[in-house]
Chain A
């Protein structure tokens, strides 16, 4: 009897110990999950904060670029149109004078015609710069080819292109972004790089348009280039982000620069 009581006691002790152990174990599991959850949520918050910061930075640079673009347009309008129209207005005023001779009137008229033609030409050029009509009419490849021709006209830079018509899968906004990127790259090369040749290829491979741009100019230190406002690299990155595209720059001082852009089409 005594022995069986002892046994019973032992069994009860074991059961109690086991229950307490299970209790501890479940508490440990709960604590573990609770703490991990806290940690994960904290890192998520941190990530979200970084993302918002990045977006704000993007927005800021967009605004800055927009403002610069406006300034440039205003300058263009002023230089190429307003000042010329002033001359026209002045000459026209002379024409209204009663005592001018026929000869004078003729020469004034000729001057007015000349200047008006220049103004027309200029306004066409400005509009064209803002949005090349070929982009909408004939697609991205044609627009970029036209751009290359314009760059080559200067005879200073030689442009070698390999543009496949298949790259025309990009339409509308996407095409415009890619066009602007190329335009920005040409701008950089012309303004800063003092390059002799530019190699530009564009191909459509596996649901993505691959653009490769290379010049043999001065190049730059990447970290500095990204900070330099004039280069507009952040603008290129912003456009790439909008396109969901991946973009990589490669450049070193005196070794030119290379850009690879991969724009997914689906």
Chain B
């Protein structure tokens, strides 16, 4: 039986590459927040492409995950720094990066597995930013609200998914069971991508009007 989730993964990869391209089109015409978010989308697209290349050569691609979550943290921190307009977002970014750097320097071997604590911490911080931005948006600001919603929904749930990554690998679960969890994650990721697309569509439509 062919694995459906692999097809879904293919589809999601293509969608995220398309989204990155769509966002790049308006890159110069938009503000800093938009640019940082575009950088994040490009990062996701590039990492997914490299992942496919490695998977095609049957090479271990788990080290890419580290670039993914650290890059994601950097770009989304900058993105939220623009939205929340608070300097301490940058301080937290620098602190966390220093912490992670020391961690990698002391334990270089973690490059070959999921960095559960790192990904949990960075994603939690992004979730907190999303909540703060939601709170600020109560009094009128409405930029990137859909993206914010997507980030809150996807990041909050995927914390647990990524955090249990090592466990799932260690348990040597049958493919069948891994797939269920994979599908749940893909479903949430799909919603996230749809929200990003609607956000792009809206801003684009406003410009055209």
Contact = CB atoms under 8 A, between A and B. Distances in A.
Interface in B63-103: none
B171 A11 contact: yes
A205 interface: no
A37 B152 CA distance: 16
A12 B174 CA distance: 11
Contacts, number: 58
Interface of A: 8-9, 11-12, 15-16, 18-20, 22-23, 25-27, 29-30, 33, 36-37, 40-41, 44
Interface residues of B, number: 26
Contacts of B201: none
Q: Is the interface of A mostly helix, strand, loop or mixed?
A: helix
Contact of B164 (A8, A15, A40): A15
A26 B152 contact: yes
B157 A26 contact: yes
Interface string B121-154: 0000000000100110111100000000100110
Q: Is the interface of B mostly helix, strand, loop or mixed?
A: helix
Contacts of B131: 29
B139 A27 contact: no
Contacts of B156: 22-23, 25-26
Given A11-B167, A33-B137, A18 B160 contact: yes
B138 A37 contact: yes
A261 B185 CA distance: 65
Contacts of A16: 180-181, 184
A27 B188 CA distance: 12
B130 to A, nearest CB: 9
Contacts of A22: 156-157, 159-160
B177 interface: yes
B192 to A, nearest CB: 11
Contacts of B188: 23
